[in-house]
Every structure is written in C-alpha cells, then in structure tokens.
Amino acid sequence: MIILNRPQTDPFFNLAAEEFLIKNTTEPLFMLWQNTPSVVVGKHQNALKEINLKFLKEKNIPVIRRISGGGTVFHDLGNLNYSFINFGHRESLVNFKKYSQPIVDVLQKMGVDAQLIGKSDLKIKGLKFSGNASHVYKNKVLHHGTLLFSSELNILNNSIKVSEINFSDKAVQSNRSTVTNIQSHLKEALSIEEFKQKIIDFVMTSFPETEIRYFTKTEIEEIQKLADEKYKSWEWNFGYSPRYQYSAKFRFNDKTISFKLTVKNGEIESCHFDLNTNAIIKKLEGFLTGSLHQSLALATIYDTNTKLFKELGLDKNVFLKTFIG
C-alpha cells in the first residue's frame, strides 16, 4: 500500500484529487489530508437545502460537491480527512466497517472509546466525530471520512444550520447529529500533527510493504486542471443538484403572494404565483423562467429590471433572500 502525503489544503484541489486518484491509481492508497474552511456536500444532495447560504457568504466559505454519496460535512484545519482507495470485486467493494476500523483501533489504543454506530458514523459516547462515504469506480473503491479533532464546532453548526421549509425534493438528506472533537476526549494533550502521525504509524504497521510518496508535478497539474474546470464550477457544486421545488412568500399590494419555483439542473424550468393574472407578476414569472437559480443570475434580473421591482415593492436584498434564501 502507498501512503500518499498530501500537504495541500485547498479544498477544490483536494476534492479533485480524490476523483483523479480513483480513476488513475494502479496501487492501493491511504491518505490523510486537511482543508481550509469549506462545506462539502454529497453527490446526490440539493446543495442549497443543506447549507446556511447567508452565513457561508459572510464567512467566505466555499461549498463543494464530492463524488461520493452521503451527507454534508464541514472541513477546516482542525479536521483531518482520511481516504482509502482499494481494489476488489464490485459486489464487495463498499465496506464501511473494514475501512473505518483502523481509525477506531488507533483511538481505542489511545484510551478513547470510539465506535462505528449505524452504517457510517464514528462516535465517542454517542457524539459523532466522523462521517464516512464511499464511491465505486470500476473495480476500485474510494472510502473517505472526516475526523473532527479540534474543529471550530460553532462555525460547523452555523454552516449547516438550515431551514427545510422552502424545499421539496427527493435528494439525499443529511442525518444531523450532535458532534464532538476527538481532542476533548484524549487523556493526554496531543496536536493534530501528532494524531496524524499515530494514524500513519498504525497503517504502516498494519499493512505490509507500505511506502510513502508525494504527488508528482504532472499529477499536480492534472488535478489542478480538474479542480479549475469542475470543482470550482457552479454547474457541479449547485447545478448538479437533483430536481427540486422552492417555495416562499412575499408581500405585494397588501397581499401575501405565495410562489413555487421548479428547478432542474440548476435552472428554473417553471414558476407559479398565486396572483398569476396580475400583469406585473406575469412579467416577473417570464424573467425568472429559464434563469439559473443562483444569486448572481437573480441579481442580474433585478439590476436589469429595477422599475419592475420598484412596482413590486421589493428591494434587492429582500428579493434575493426571498427567491433563493
């Protein structure tokens, strides 16, 4: 097994690296890596439904979609991510217990009662510190998970603190759990780098003929290209979301107007307003239909139709908050 040393902390690069490696590696891999603050959503999730968009914009925290399923997680430099890429028969590739067990063993050797609870969560005394997910490509599996060591839990909770009342869809939903940091359960003080080394030492002891290597210059260039073209794109991070309906209300002419947007591949394919016979409302409906359901596109609609929105009595901030959250 190869232990791939990944010092990069750019979340776009690191998520792209997972895809690049599972498609190109010819040897089993183990990796530990960290990201600067970011929110990572599962492949089959509605990104807007899973996040606190206003908070993330204020904190300049990016949202990135990964290639594996499962729920939304928060990364920062107090969180350590681990990944295995392995080979096998397709029907037996996904095995959460097998790939999370080394983490459990390391922590139990340190006197921490870590356990795999349910399908994919690692917990200490009922508190979650690790979420895990898998992705299969041909005869290979990527298993990866978070390890909350000394993360900013307040920022984590605010980043994924959402209201579900505006969305209706069949997307995968996150299973919200009360979380904890590993560091607070240790009997002796330990830095995240020391914890990382303990895991590496355990893997090197457990797997024969293990060696450490780094990305080559060519690999870095190819991964960066994938990061720039895919993982930084709105189309992948938000547009890939399953079809959904977004509902909300606003006041117009002393009446409460309810509306529903139907969004597919990030584009508003239809919209329905209670007061759909009103000429001003019908104009708004026309501008929205076919637009991307994103802040930039909606802001452009507002900026190019200020007279219409003045008649509606909606300022820009209220319009954006109402129509995208």
* pLDDT tens track for 18-49: 999 999 999 999 999 999 999 999 999 999 99
Length of the chain: 325
Q: Are strands 38-41 and 63-65 parallel, antiparallel or unpaired?
A: parallel
pLDDT in tens, 47-64: 999 999 999 999 999 999
Contact of 198 with 106, CB cutoff 8 Å: yes
Query: Is 119 exposed, middle or buried (CB count within 10 Å of its CB: 0-12, 13-18, 19+)?
Result: exposed
- Residue 15's pLDDT is 99
- Residue 78's pLDDT is 98
| Predicted structure pTM score | 0.92
Contact of 182 with 108, CB cutoff 8 Å: no
- Residue 91's pLDDT is 84
Domain architecture of the chain: domains with CATH: 2-236 (3.30.930.10), 244-324 (3.30.390.50)
In percent, the amount of the chain with pLDDT more than 70 equals: 97
Neighbours of 215 (CB within 10 A): 19
pLDDT in tens, 231-278: 999 999 999 999 999 999 999 988 899 999 999 999 999 999 987 778
Tokens (6 digits) for 28: 């089993």
Neighbours of 184 (CB within 10 A): 13
- Residue 156's pLDDT is 97
DSSP letter at 95 equals -
- Residue 161's pLDDT is 76
pLDDT in tens, 150-203: 999 999 999 997 766 688 876 766 767 899 999 999 999 999 999 999 999 999
Contact of 148 with 79, CB cutoff 8 Å: yes
Model confidence at 76: pLDDT above 70: yes
CA atoms within 13 A on the CB side of 137: 16
The whole-angstrom separation of Cα 26 and Cα 178 is 38
DSSP letter at 59 equals H
Q: Is 171 helix (H, G, I), strand (E, B) or coil?
A: coil
Most confidently modeled range among 91-100, 136-145, 159-168: 136-145
Q: Which residue has the higher pLDDT, 163 or 98?
A: 98
- Residue 165's pLDDT is 66
